[in-house]
Amino acid sequence: MLPSINRLARSLAHGEIVLWPAVLAGAAATLLSLATGSVRLDLSVEVALASMATFLFGVLLAFTIARVRERLAMVRELVARGNSSLQSIHQIMAVFPDPLRSRIRGLVDDQLTSQIDYRLVDNHLAGAAHDALVEAVYAIEPTSAQHESLYRRLVALCVHMGADRALVDSTTGQSLMAVEWIGMLLLLGVIVGLTIVMPAGALWGALVAGLLTGTLVTLLIVVRQLDRLVWHEQASVWEPTSRLFRSMGLDPCVPRLVIDSGRFTPSGRVRVVDYPDPYPDRSRKIVTVADFGDEPRDSPRQACTTSATG
């Protein structure tokens, strides 16, 4: 029971649940508005306070959303560039002999799966897999003119990929400060409080107060999702990553929590990852292969090498 409550609390804190918090907040505001009845301040005072609080809240919310959306777009662009570099490394290794080719491609897969193990805001925790891949590429000893030319290309890709990772780590660290959240929550509390008492017990006024409260709570949850870099996660993270895995002849790797929560609906063969330990401990992760059907026809034949690991 307690672990379930903890997971629910974390989901609420991270903005992963939108509908029910907004509905509950709106219902509570409606009931409080009806319960308070005629308990109210002077109407002109209430209108003046509500206007001032709404203006400040709207300005602060607009600037905050613009800033966090810009940050989210930058992080996703950098991650996409890094994934493109990984795909290029995977393709270039086709001309190198085994077991070098298999080793480097395995390290590419390790980096992609390590990135999936952690939230986007904690991308730096996957640095060990990146370092292992880069060191292995730098250690390649070309044996022909073709290998020499491609080796220089591989080194350039690793350099660019390292620069992009540094920018990702820097950008993900620019989340909203606690004082910004406190300011928005205080203004939200003032607006909701005034909205509750202004209808003076009228039913329609109480319903409008509930709708307004639910809308404001939804906006704050959206800001939280933007700040946690999970806005439109399926379309911008999981679908491109799955296509990247399949383009390299691998089964996509997706955490079970992402599938169970509805944040991504996979198809075909997928490596489903379970994490028995609390985040961010990923030392005992378990990977199993599951077939969700409706596999994309244009994907190459899957070559999953791991059915269960601990």
Contact 105, 250 (CB under 8 A): no
Q: Quote the Cα angle for 66-121-268, to 5°.
A: 105
- Mean pLDDT is lowest, of 41-50, 79-88, 123-132, for 41-50
Dihedral class, residue 252 (left if φ above 0, else alpha if ψ from -120 to 50, else beta)? beta
Specify the DSSP class assigned to residue 177.
Answer: P
Encode pLDDT of 188-235 as tens digits: 998 988 888 887 777 888 898 899 999 999 998 888 888 888 766 666
* Percent of the chain's residues with pLDDT above 90: 28
The per-residue pLDDT for 300 is: 41
pLDDT of residue 195: 85
Task: Tell me if 267 sits within 8 A of 249, measured CB to CB.
Answer: no
**For the residues 74-81, what does the mean pLDDT come to?**
88
Give the HSE-up count for residue 133: Cα atoms under 13 Å, Cβ half-sphere: 31
- The reported pLDDT for the residue numbered 152 is 94
Lowest-pLDDT range of 11-20, 50-59, 81-90, 138-147: 11-20
Q: Could you say which DSSP state residue 284 is in?
A: T
Q: Residue 229 and residue 13: Cα distance in Å, rounded?
A: 14
Read off the pTM: 0.74
Name the residue type at position 92: I
The pLDDT-based confidence of 86 (bands split at 50, 70, 90) is very high
Element at 208 (helix H, strand E): helix 203-227
Sorted by where each begins, the domain ranges of the chain are: 1-231, 251-310
Question: What is the pLDDT confidence band of residue 6, given thresholds at 50, 70 and 90?
Answer: low
Per-residue model confidence (pLDDT) at position 111 = 92
Paired tokens of 279: 């985040």
pLDDT tens readout for residues 266-307: 888 999 999 998 888 888 899 999 998 765 544 443 333 333
Q: Quick check: 309 pLDDT over 50?
A: no
Residue 250 has pLDDT above 80, yes or no: yes
Q: Which tops the pLDDT comparison, 295 or 240?
A: 240
Residue 41 confidence class, pLDDT cut points 50, 70, 90: low
Nearest residue to 262 (alpha-carbon basis) of 23, 16, 22: 16
Q: Which residue has the higher pLDDT, 309 or 106?
A: 106
Under 8 Å CB-to-CB from 73, ≥6 apart: which residues? none
pLDDT at 178 over 90: no
Mean per-residue pLDDT, 82-87 = 92
Report pLDDT for 236: 63
| Contact predicate 211/195, CB 8 Å | no
Strand 253-255 to strand 269-274: parallel, antiparallel, or no bridges (unpaired)?
parallel
Mean pLDDT of the chain: 83
Q: How far apart are the first and last CA of the chain?
A: 26
- Tokens standing for 66? 């613009």
